[in-house]
Amino acid sequence: MQKLTIKDIAAMAGVSPTAVSFVLNDKSGVSEDTRQKVLEVIQKTNFKPNLNSKRLLFQKSFNISLVIKQNSSPFHDLFYFEITKGVLEKSKEYGYNIVFTDIAFDNGKAVLPEIIEHNDTDGVIFFQDTEPTIRNEVEKRNIPYVVVDVHSSSEDFTYVRADYQLSAYTATRYLCEKGHQAIALICSSFIPDFYLNIVTGYTNALKETNTPIPPHWIQADAMDEQTAYQCMENILKHKDSLPTAVFCAGDVYAIGAMKCIKNHGYHIPSDISVVGLDDILLSSYVEPPLTTIAIDKFHMGSEALELLVRKINGESAQGITVQSDLLIERASVRNCL
C-alpha cells in the first residue's frame, strides 16, 4: 500500500481534489451528497492529508520549540520538568509538535538551536529569564516567543511567572504563625529581581511581628545545593544567635541547608525548621519530607503554550502571573506553640 494523496481520494469518490479538500477542512461549498461520498472514502482508507505540503503552502512548520539552557533544563533542574508536562499536554489541543532543543555555549557565546536558525519553528518557549541577546535573535526572525518563569519585572515580552514575593511572604508568615520568631533566609541573588521579591516578601512578613533580623540571617549567595550548604554554614557559625527556622527560596537550597544542619548535629525540625519553595519531585523524598510552597508548574507550562499559540495566531497575549501561595505541609517545620 503506497501513500494516498488527495487526488487518489478524489478519484475513488468520483469528485475533484477541491471537493476533498473542502470536506477535509470543513468548508462550505460542497453538496451534502458529495460530502458523504468523500467522507466514506476517507473513513475506509484512513486517509490523512500530508502535513508537509501544508507546511510548504502555509509557510508553517507546526513546530514549537522548547529552549532549554544548560542549567535550567528539565534534565538539570527538576522544576522545569513539570512545566514541560503542562506544555506537552496543552500542545495536543492545537496540533503542534513539541521539539526539544538547547542552547549551547561556544566559549561564552550562545549558539541558537538549528531549529531557530532555519526558521523551522512557529514559536519558542524559553525556560527562565533569557538574555536579551538571545531573545533579540528570535525577534529578528519574527518568531513569537514566551518566557516561562521569569523574575524580572520588565514587561516588554510575554511571560508566565510566579509571584515569588507572595511565596516568600506566605512561607515566612507560616513560620511566624507556628511560633517562630528567629527566621533566617537562604536565597540566590544572580537574578536581581528574584532576590528583591524574596527579600521583600520575607521582610514584609517579619515586619508584622516586629522582630529584628541580624544581618547574617540573610544569606543571598545560594546557587545550588552546595552553595546553599555554605549559606547555612554561615548562619550556624553565629552560635549566639541561631535562628529556629530557615526559609529557603528554592527546594534545592533547602536540601543543601538540611544536609548542613544535620551535619552540625542539629535535628530537623526540633532544633531548626526548614521551609522550601517550588515543591520539586525530590522534596517529598528527603528526610524529613520538606514543607514547601508549591508552584503550579504544570499550569505554568500549559498557560505558556496557550499564550504562545495566541501570539502565533497574531493575537495579543498579556503576561500571566500564577498562584504562588500554596503551602504544602510536610514534616520539616516544628510547631512552637
Partner DNA sequence: GTGAAAGCGCTAACAG
Partner DNA sequence: CTGTTAGCGCTTTCAC
Note the residues at the interface with DNA (CB under 7 A): 3, 5-7, 14-22, 24-25, 27-31, 33-34, 49-50, 52-54, 56-57, 59
Which of the ranges 11-19, 26-34, 94-102, 303-311 carries the binding residues for its own copies, by CB under 8 A? 94-102
Q: Least Å distance between CB 135 and its own copies?
A: 18
Return d(Cα 228, Cα 233) in angstroms, integer: 9
Closer residue to DNA, CB minimum distance, 16 or 323: 16
Name which of its own copies, DNA, none residue 154 binds, using a CB cut-off of 5 to 8 Å depending on partner kind. none
Q: Does 48 bind its own copies (CB under 8 A)?
A: yes
What's the min distance (Å) between Cβ of 35 and DNA? 7
- Please tell me the distance from the alpha carbon of residue 286 to that of residue 332, in angstroms, as a whole number: 10
State the Cα angle at 240 between 235 and 243, rounded to 5°. 45
Q: Which is nearer to its own copies, 100 or 266 (CB)?
A: 100
117 versus 155: smaller Cβ distance to its own copies: 117
Cβ closest to DNA, residue 6 vs residue 307: 6
61 forms part of the interface with its own copies (CB under 8 A): yes
Look at strands 63-68 and 97-102 and give their pairing: parallel
Q: Say if residues 143 and 155 touch (Cβ distance below 8 Å).
A: no
- Least separation in angstroms between CB 222 and its own copies: 17
Please report whether residue 137 would count as binding its own copies according to CB under 8 A.
Answer: no
Q: How far is residue 172 from each of residues 183, 184, 247, 297, measured CA to CA in Å?
A: 8, 9, 7, 21
Interaction of residue 85 with its own copies, rule CB under 8 A:
yes
- 269 prior amide bond cis, ω within 30: yes
Report if residue 99 touches its own copies, rule: CB under 8 A: yes
DSSP string, 288-333: SPPEEEE--HHHHHHHHHHHHHHHHTT-----EEE---EEE--SS-
Work out how close the CB of 11 gets to its own copies at its nearest, in angstroms, rounded to a whole number.
Answer: 20
DSSP 175-214: HHHTT---EEEE---SSHHHHHHHHHHHHHHHHTTT----
Closest CA to 175 of 98, 260, 275: 275
| Closer of 10 and 307 to DNA (Cβ) | 10
Binding-site ranges for its own copies (CB under 8 A) = 3, 48, 50-53, 55-56, 59-61, 63, 74-75, 78, 81-82, 84-85, 88, 92, 95, 97-102, 114-115, 117-120, 255, 281-282, 285-287
